[in-house]
Amino acid sequence: MILIMLILNSCKTQYSTTVMQNNFSEKQIKDLEKITVFFKESICLSKNPKFKKCFEKLPHEYMEAVGSPVWSNINFEKQKKLYKQISDSTFNQIWVFCKSINFNNNKKTLKSICSRYNGKYQKYLIDFGKQNEAIKVYANKVVGAGVYPTLYLHYSHILRNKKYFDLNDPNIQLIIAIHYLSLNDEWQRTDEWESE
């Protein structure tokens, strides 16, 4: 009986990693898993997809050529529901709302999503960057600018640099998920900034 339980536990996919455990609470890690699962199912259009296989097979170039990058196809209403399914504690350690100016629309001040300065997610990126040079560069860009740099985690960069982007690694999946969901939010959010 014990042998069967050990076999079953070893077959179960472990989402959490040491670097996640060093930076987030157990509850927050469950929220991070929800974020990753939502992202995978949104871009792969199936339940429990194999992330690596799906990401590599997506027609990234074609989608960009027709003005519809992968992340812009994520249903934003469902994404906003995802935000409500994770704790405020987790959301607020990853994101913060900031002001942006829409120059195409009479310079309206809009609500935009940015990276939470000195939040647990930025610390996690820095921590993971100690073992992954590409993520170290990315973390410096996110911390320095406060936003998610559109071009750095571009699919071509990820697929060309497989040494740094193991698509089977839950850390890489989480980082790509948060990056692409952030870009989608920036792209689709149209709320005006309300003075406090």
Q: pLDDT-derived band of residue 7, with 50, 70 and 90 as boundaries? A: very low
The pLDDT tens digits for 113-123 are 999 999 999 99
pLDDT in tens, 146-192: 889 888 888 888 989 999 999 999 999 999 999 999 999 998 988 88
pLDDT-based confidence at 8, cuts 50/70/90? very low
15 Cβ contact partners less than 8 Å away, ≥ 6 residues apart: 29, 32, 33, 36, 170
